[in-house]
Amino acid sequence: RKEVEQDPGPFNVPEGATVAFNCTYSNSASQSFFWYRQDCRKEPKLLMSVYSSGNEDGRFTAQLNRASQYISLLIRDSKLSDSATYLCVVPRSGTYKYIFGTGTRLKVLA
Amino acid sequence: EAQVTQNPRYLITVTGKKLTVTCSQNMNHEYMSWYRQDPGLGLRQIYYSMNVEVTDKGDVPEGYKVSRKEKRNFPLILESPSPNQTSLYFCASSLSIISSSGGRGNEQFFGPGTRLTVL
């Protein structure tokens, strides 16, 4: 099992739709989780940090399910500008390293 | 403006010709890191540094060197580049990971990337 796993997509959704995707992680001791947004071959930019059960910022909600070891990202009222790849990042417990998922690609269609 | 800068942004070189990619941050961050990004493999950590003169290997360190003589700078050195090092490279910085045992990290700020081609 990969340490951090994401469905690569693409998720094709119409404007205004709600879309959610998950990120599973293997280490039950992990305490912090991050969602980054990456536009085509540009630098990743932080979208949300999750340190407890979840976090919400406008149209974006991240939820942590410790029992099943996954975090989800929910995007409401999708905009064309939300089209990007969403990366899940988890520090590797017991080290000072970060593990990235391979990303989920989202396409919002007009 | 708080930022991470990398230079050069684009580089085409030949096998065996030593090169250095510079990285600098102005946020007084302790933690700095280098990643490479390849299609289908995502971002993989090459080296990281917890502070000045403290560096350690990431998951794919072979063929790379780093140094951290000043807090703001973290150059990536390829002593003898090979074609399999053709990739998109990102430098990142953050406040230190709070606790390695608990896997509690901090958000990272990324540089704009360096696209390297080794012929």
- Residue of chain B minimizing CA distance to A101: B42
pLDDT tens digits, A78-102 = 999 999 999 999 988 777 888 999 9
Identify the pLDDT of residue B97: 66
Indicate the SS3 state at residue A70: strand
Higher-pLDDT residue of B45 and B42 is B45
> Which of A25, A32, A85 to mutate to probe the B interface, most B CBs <10 Å?
A32
Residues 12-71 of B with CB under 8 A from A: 31, 33, 35, 40-45, 48, 50, 56, 58-59
Identify the pLDDT of residue B1: 86
Is A27's Cβ below 8 Å from some Cβ in B?
yes
Is A103's Cβ below 8 Å from some Cβ in B?
yes
Q: B41 to each of A6, A102, B9, B78, how far by Cα in Å?
A: 12, 6, 21, 21
Average of per-residue pLDDT values in chain A? 92
Q: How far apart are CA B114 and CA B75, in angstroms?
A: 12
Q: Which residues of chain A neighbour B43 with C-beta distances below 8 Å?
A: 44, 87, 100
Mean pLDDT, rounded, for A19-44: 92
- pLDDT at residue B104 tops 70: no
Q: How many Cα atoms sit within 13 Å of B1 on the Cβ side? A: 3
Q: How confident is the model at residue B102 (pLDDT cuts 50, 70, 90)?
A: low
Q: How confident is the model at residue B103 (pLDDT cuts 50, 70, 90)?
A: low
- Residue of chain A minimizing CA distance to B106: A32
**How close B55 comes to chain A (CA, Å)?**
11
Higher-pLDDT residue of B104 and B109 is B109
Contact between B35 and A95 using a beta-carbon 8 Å cutoff? no
Identify the pLDDT of residue A53: 79
Contact between B31 and A96 using a beta-carbon 8 Å cutoff? yes
Q: How far apart are CA B34 and CA B38, in angstroms?
A: 14
Mean pLDDT, rounded, for A7-27: 95
Dihedral sign of CA atoms B98, B111, B83, B42 in order: positive
Identify the pLDDT of residue A93: 77
**How close B110 comes to chain A (CA, Å)?**
6
Q: Which residues of chain A neighbour B99 with C-beta distances below 8 Å?
A: 31
Q: How confident is the model at residue B73 (pLDDT cuts 50, 70, 90)?
A: very high
Average of per-residue pLDDT values in chain B? 92
